[in-house]
Structure 1
């Protein structure tokens, strides 16, 4: 099968969608299919890929590539990338990884047009919430995580209680977690919290911890990657993902689960799909419920064991190979 992927952003650009597209392209190639990828991101180094990457192609190149392929796959709806299909008819497949709406829920004309496009495509959504957000029918195939990077280290003692991993921005709700920590202190529990990441809200969060007199319980660990990150996650019992906004999916939850953490996360959007049976969800921005859940888990550590026992089966559906196979099953039916 010849698969042409259109992804405006790609390496060296770094982001969730870029990672998902790259992983898919690698796996499609590994499973014996021909893959070519169009991107508008210029190269800044000489990194090689097992598939051809065509950057900023001219119109004639795009038409030639569209003629070549059996499947035209887009990472989210890209209006600028649809024009070749007006001249050359090919099956359009779109993988939906985010909402087509503004933060306040409103939709501009571009988002309305993107919704219209879904009626003419085979749609694949990363979560059930995303599938429900578009007007056309959509299959649900979850995202994968990097199983070669994130895994349990039995030699690491799981001595710490709470960990957050992500950018320190207001949407991620770290302030709610710090508030919950202060409430737990009043209830007689003083768990330690490790905050992994950086961002514009860091100074406010540090001040909040100071104002609540819990600075000794909060460790701002900064950015950690690969082995150092995985080892740190393995030393914690519970990962908290307290996003205020509705996460489209939540690969970070899979990474935490793979490292042996039980995940507590907000239930809006697709994060609950990523957590599955390996943790507990709470209403977005509900500090009281978040506090109660953490208190319950720390007070009854046997519950953590029950959630961890379900990790293997849950993660099996989120390996790169399993997710790619699910995609290919749909793509092969189209041709």
Structure 2
């Protein structure tokens, strides 16, 4: 079987890019022929070797030839600009939904997003990464949760976790780091002064640094910038609590799995699919609610036994998200959709 996967990919980084790479590697290991096609550009200085071909920004003719050369066409999130080859080449089309197709946090959809859902309704098969995504987009989907990178993200069982709170992600307003910083100020007013490590970079960093100065929290917050994956995992293993304070609903939240795998209890927003990623290994609070976030953090900072109880479920929860297991779930759906089983 030959699979063509259209997705965001390297050199971009993020949840979808991680999942795409993990699944492609697992499919190759299972003896499946995989090619990745992406609209993300990569110059010669940023090329990376993969055990499968990756086509960056192919020409129209090359794209058409790629679809023709493969048995199945898969989209990680439906792309209007990448669907046109199916007008000329009939292939089974699998739409994998990682998000809600909305343009703002209130859930509004414009014409383009509605067109994507119109296309998805005509797919051979639809897969959603969470029950929340499937419910919100209103399409009958198979639910297959996301995997995480086990090679790096694992608990070293170290006893000394000197770090208190950690955030991992791109520094953009939708990720809610400002909410976390304001919650830190509330905790300080309650005579609790945990330290926060912010891992990642993005356009919101200057705004966050100004907020930290204004709230007089400079001694409690540190930025690492963007760092290598192995170093990220090492830092996570040094912290007790990961915070995922997204303001917009997350379709899933692979970062939560990474934190749990490294031995962090996770506090995350309750909207979207993030609670499904947390499972029984964390606490939730309403999106954007500073006081509720401070309350959850205070609970955990004052009650080590609660954190231990939550993390006692980690092994069984993470077992459901092993890359090889998730890859096989995808292949079963693809085989059924193509009649090749």
User: Structure 2 length normalisation: TM-score?
Assistant: 0.90
Distance change in 2, residues 1:255/1:178 (3 Å): same
Once structures 1 and 2 are overlaid, which stretch shifts more, 40-49 or 114-123? 40-49
Distance change in 2, residues 1:232/1:14 (3 Å): closer
Residue 110 (structure 1) aligned to one of 70, 95, 112: 112
Once structures 1 and 2 are overlaid, which stretch shifts more, 26-35 or 80-89? 80-89
The number of equivalent residue pairs is: 334
Distance change in 2, residues 1:36/1:178 (3 Å): closer
Displacement of 1:154: 2.9
Whether the 8 Å CA contact 2:193–2:220 is kept in 1: the answer is yes
Q: Distance in 2 between matches of 1:74 and 1:44?
A: 23
| 1:16-95 alignment, distance < 5 Å | 16-45=15-44, 47-59=48-60, 61-95=62-96
SS of structure 2 residue aligned to 1:144? coil
Q: Distance in 2 between matches of 1:57 and 1:175?
A: 39
Report the counterpart of residue 4 of structure 2 in structure 1.
4
Residue 256 (structure 1) aligned to one of 239, 247, 259: 259
Distance change in 2, residues 1:40/1:221 (3 Å): closer
SS of structure 2 residue aligned to 1:120? coil
Displacement of 1:12: 3.1
Structure 1 gaps of 5+ residues are none
SS of structure 1 residue aligned to 2:121? helix
Distance change in 2, residues 1:309/1:63 (3 Å): same
Q: Distance in 2 between matches of 1:310 and 1:16?
A: 23
Q: Distance in 2 between matches of 1:202 and 1:44?
A: 26
SS of structure 1 residue aligned to 2:224? strand
Q: CA-atom RMSD, angstroms?
A: 2.1
Q: Distance in 1 between matches of 2:242 and 2:187?
A: 16
Distance change in 2, residues 1:182/1:63 (3 Å): closer
Residue 301 (structure 1) aligned to one of 293, 304, 310: 304
| 1:98-247 alignment, distance < 5 Å | 98-103=99-104, 104-121=106-123, 122-155=125-158, 157-247=160-250
User: Structure 1 length normalisation: TM-score?
Assistant: 0.92
Q: Distance in 2 between matches of 1:204 and 1:66?
A: 44
Whether the 8 Å CA contact 1:119–1:135 is kept in 2: the answer is no
SS of structure 1 residue aligned to 2:138? coil
Whether the 8 Å CA contact 2:15–2:255 is kept in 1: the answer is no
Q: Does 1:317 align with 2:316?
A: no
Whether the 8 Å CA contact 1:172–1:245 is kept in 2: the answer is yes
Displacement of 1:131: 1.1
Distance change in 2, residues 1:294/1:116 (3 Å): same
Distance change in 2, residues 1:30/1:188 (3 Å): same
Distance change in 2, residues 1:28/1:214 (3 Å): same
